[in-house]
Structure 1
Amino acid sequence: MARCFPFSSFVSQSTPTVSPKPSSAPVIKEEAPGPSAIWISPGSPLRIQSRKRKRSDWIPTGTQDRWAVKGMFGLKMQLKRRRVSTVRPEDYKAFNRLLGDPVVQNFLAWDRKLRVSDKYLLAMIIAYFARAGRPSWQYQRLHFFLALYLANDMEEDCQGPKHGMFVFLYGQDRTQRAKFQWLRAQLFRAIGWKAWVTREECEEIQAYQPGHWVWKRDRALLQ
């Protein structure tokens, strides 16, 4: 059982700052709300890094928008919004490495009907890794299941099948399930509460390695 829980140490802080003004009454300038990330690795001291909210932090689904010229019509110029993905090569690297884990392989073989691990839910794992922004080597088996569980929370109406993950992680030990749920909430916080992933973004993630065997886990092919 994995014992590294790097998502468990994110907290939110917000402190107003005072900006002086020549007049007698001071003017209070507040920072935009946002989490100050505290990353705790086992056996290492706290390292606190605070930052102000940037405009890009408010863009949904972990992507940024850019504008490109679509066409010229007389004196008018039509623009179209072009999304720029924030998924990094190391996020794919971490995902592919975890697919080789024997427990993950047994779980995927068990879910033959793709109730909790079809290609879109698996693509969401990579999206969550990108939004958390951790180095690829820090992701372990537990993080794969945490991200997949959160993806099922967002996309699936039937919540029962996802509980099969507990059997592969903990066997018949039910005492660890409460800790798993707590860690899932920490992952949710680590990705900035942005758990929604569009179908378009999932397809862009799959297009990075279009021939990957895992993208053949398509429910439409089972019907």
Structure 2
Amino acid sequence: MKLKKQRVSSVLPEHHEVFNRLLEDPVVKKFLDWDKALKVSDKYLLSMAIAYFSRAGLFSWQYRRIHFFLALYLANDMEEDNQAPKQDMFYFLYGKSYAQRPQFHKLRLQMVRSMGWNTRVTREECEEIQAYEPEHWAWKRDRTLIPPEHQQTSEA
């Protein structure tokens, strides 16, 4: 008889707390409300953001709104092919100004480096993250439950 090896999540409770705190940020809330089709913020992409918080190694008090968007942008880089909804994140961060985009990409690269280039997050890891607080509203953001006629990209 083989015993299945149990993986212990590397995501600490404080990373879940940071995530929950950032979900209360008014800009993050507005962005999540805007993404009704869940093109850039479904439950798996949000789970990946928590995994990235864990891997980046910052203290929980250091995380800000920008880190949420950096992690979510990176998750979309890894999992999604559509660039347009990802670009809409900039609108929520910077309005119509393009001036801050190079700085954003510089910070994104710094985040990836701080994670030791470890950007792959498995579905199992996402599900472990969601299992920490299974009734959280963010885990109800399931793209597969959206009727096809509502899956068009939203306008920012």
- TM-score past 0.5 threshold: yes
Partner of 2:46 in structure 1? 122
Match of 1:138 among 62, 66, 72: 62
Alignment partners' CA distance in 2, 1:80 and 1:202: 19
* Structure 1: gaps spanning 5 or more residues: 1-70, 72-77
- Aligned residue identity for 1:217: R
Percent identical across equivalent pairs?
Answer: 65
Q: Deviations over 1:137-159 (max 9, x none)?
A: 11000000000000000000111
Gaps of 5+ in 2: 148-156
Tell which structure's C-alpha radius of gyration is larger: 1
Distance in 2 between the 1:112 and 1:157 partners?
Answer: 18
The structure 2 residue matched to 1:197, chosen from 80, 105, 121, is 121
Q: Does 1:164 align with 2:85?
A: no
Q: Distance in 2 between matches of 1:211 and 1:82?
A: 23
Where has structure 1 moved over 3 Å in runs of 4 or more? none
Q: How big is the alpha-carbon RMSD for the aligned residues of Structure 1 and Structure 2?
A: 0.9
Amino acid at match of 1:168: F
State the number of aligned residues: 147
TM-score (norm 1): 0.64
More strand by percentage: 1
> Alignment partner of 1:108: what SS?
helix
Offset of 1:125 from its aligned partner? 0.6
Look up the match of 1:213. 137
Kindly indicate whether the alpha-carbon contact (under 8 Å) linking 2:56 and 2:112 is maintained by their aligned counterparts in 1.
no
TM-score, normalised via structure 2 length: 0.91
- Give the residue type in structure 2 aligned to 1:179: Q
Q: Deviations over 1:58-112 (max 9, x none)?
A: xxxxxxxxxxxxx3xxxxxx34332221100000010000000000000000111
